[in-house]
A and B are shown apart, each in its own frame.
Chain A
Amino acid sequence: DAGITQSPRHKVTETGTPVTLRCHQTENHRYMYWYRQDPGHGLRLIHYSYGVKDTDKGEVSDGYSVSRSKTEDFLLTLESATSSQTSVYFCAINKRLEGSTDTQYFGPGTRLTVL
């Protein structure tokens, strides 16, 4: 258990409305990530953070913004949701176990439907 929670777990919204997804971690990890999962594409990186107020874009960042004002929280915002943003969203942290390498551990996911 990597101590990651995501909220909400499910959300249905309408096109054009703003949506914010929250990722919360309890272990003070520096790196946090947001991915989206779509059939046929695996997981694709949206944005990531390497510290408080330090963020950068991933492969599919258009239409998304992020913020990290506290180490434990990483927020993903869809400013104006579109149907193409219907997806499952995963948050992840980078964690190094003893004697191993940095490994990403994932939250439970948020299923977002944009009508």
Chain B
Amino acid sequence: AQKITQTQPGMFVQEKEAVTLDCTYDTSDPSYGLFWYKQPSSGEMIFLIYQGSYDQQNATEGRYSLNFQKARKSANLVISASQLGDSAMYFCAMREGGSNTGKLIFGQGTTLQVKP
């Protein structure tokens, strides 16, 4: 069965430093997609970045990049030059490619606090 694991319940980072949020996944489907969402204290879910299982290069989106290691089944989110506004909960999610329903499986989330 597909599963997403985020092992870091909480993380701290100094402002302007880089931080890596871990995500490991398990699936038997060779085709899948991995997503990261941000949930600030206001509660909305904000899409950040996507990585497809067949993508040759790691995805990047501004200060966000995805460190995709397929053999290790990991899809870690890297935030460069952290800002105070990055303080939020971050969720990793997976969609199996064999399904056309678009359903996502989410990890438990990691709370990131950026210190000034």
Which residues of A approach B to under 8 Å, CB–CB? 31, 33, 35, 40-45, 48, 50, 56, 58, 88, 90, 92, 94, 100-106, 108-109
Contact = CB atoms under 8 A, between A and B. Distances in A.
Most interface-central of A33, A45, A48, A101 (chain B CB within 10 A): A101
A45 B33 contact: no
B44 A94 contact: no
B50 A56 contact: no
A33 B106 contact: no
B25 to A, nearest CB: 13
Contacts, number: 55
B101 interface: yes
26 contacts: A31-B101, A31-B102, A33-B103, A40-B108, A41-B108, A42-B4, A42-B91, A42-B106, A42-B107, A42-B108, A43-B106, A48-B101, A48-B102, A56-B101, A88-B43, A90-B45, A100-B50, A101-B52, A102-B102, A103-B35, A104-B102, A104-B104, A105-B47, A108-B43, A109-B43, A109-B44
Contacts of B102: 31, 33, 48, 94, 102, 104
Q: Which bracket fits the contact residues of B?
A: 20 to 34
Given A42-B106, A42-B108, A101-B33, A106 B45 contact: yes
Contacts of A50: 101
Interface of B: 4, 6, 33, 35, 37, 43-45, 47, 50, 52, 91, 93, 95, 101-109
B50 A106 contact: no
Most interface-central of A31, A41, A103, A109 (chain B CB within 10 A): A103
A102 B109 CA distance: 22
B43 A45 contact: no
Contacts of A42: 4, 6, 91, 106-109
Given A33-B103, A48-B103, A90-B45, A103 B108 contact: no
